[in-house]
Each structure stands twice: as structure tokens, then as C-alpha cells.
Amino acid sequence: MSNETPTHEKPRCRYCDKILHGRAGKIFCNVDCKNNYNSRIRSVDRAEENKRFPDVIKTIKNNYRVLKQYRLNNLKEGEIRHIRKDELRRLGFDHRFCTGAALEGGREMWKCCFEFCWKEDMNWLTFKIDPDLNTRYNY
């Protein structure tokens, strides 16, 4: 009787599935199989990540297009404009998605879609133009 492990129980390379020889506990033929295996895992991870991004980016783009229609760029420094939430919602604006968020005066939360910034009241969003707020980090 042979002491050899039957072929189907011999350890195989995780990448190319060839039977492994040499020291016990080996999981790859060589460093190439190891690298290929790891890069395959990374590309699967990356594909999973990339599936999530288009919807978010589309929403932010649409938010920007909607806000541009209001000609908010005509607001002067310090000027604000109130727009009803439901009106914006009908145009596809989704106030949950933004490119920046910052506290002003330590308690007012402003969200931004690039230069367009808004704070929320019950049924209204208050807008102003403030490109600096979009990039401010003050949490």
C-alpha cells in the first residue's frame, strides 16, 4: 500500500490549481501565482466598489444641474434665497447628497454642492453661494 496521499487530496495552488510540491503549508507554486492571486482579489474588490459609485455621482450631478436652473450664482455675498424642499424634490434634487458639509457659528449645518450651499428648515432650504464652505473642514 502506498503512503502517498491520493492526488485529489494533495494541496493545490490557490491561483493555478497545480499540485504543489515542496514544504508543507505551501499555498502557491511561486511568487507569480501569489501575486496574481492577490491582484485578482483586489480587482474583484475594486469592481464591487465601482458598482456603488455611479448612482451617487449621478445624484450629485443632477443636484448641481437643478441648482444651476435657479441662477443662484446671481446671489451677492451675504444674500440668501429660500426654496421649498418639495419643489426641489420634484426636480430630482436630493438634499442628502452633497460635496461638502460644515458647521457655521458652531451649530448651523450647511451642506454644499460645490459653490451652492444650503441649510435645512422644516419645508425650506436656504441657499447661498459660498465656495469656501464646500472645502471647509470644521467638525
Residues contributing to the site for Zn ion (CB under 5 A): 13, 15-16, 29, 33
Q: Considering the complex, what minimum distance in angstroms separates the CB of residue 25 from Zn ion?
A: 15
Stated length of the chain: 139
Q: Considering the complex, what minimum distance in angstroms separates the CB of residue 18 from Zn ion?
A: 5
Task: State which residue, 29 or 117, has the beta carbon closest to Zn ion.
Answer: 29
Q: Considering the complex, what minimum distance in angstroms separates the CB of residue 36 from Zn ion?
A: 8
Task: State which residue, 13 or 91, has the beta carbon closest to Zn ion.
Answer: 13
Q: Give CA–CA dist 110/138, Å, rounded.
A: 11
Task: State which residue, 11 or 99, has the beta carbon closest to Zn ion.
Answer: 11
Residue/partner pairs of 64-68 with CB below 8 Å, 24 or more apart: 64/113, 64/114, 64/116, 66/91, 66/92, 66/93, 67/93, 67/113, 67/116, 67/127
Task: State which residue, 23 or 71, has the beta carbon closest to Zn ion.
Answer: 23
CA dist 71 to 7, 68, 86, 116, Å? 73, 5, 18, 10
Q: Considering the complex, what minimum distance in angstroms separates the CB of residue 45 from Zn ion?
A: 21
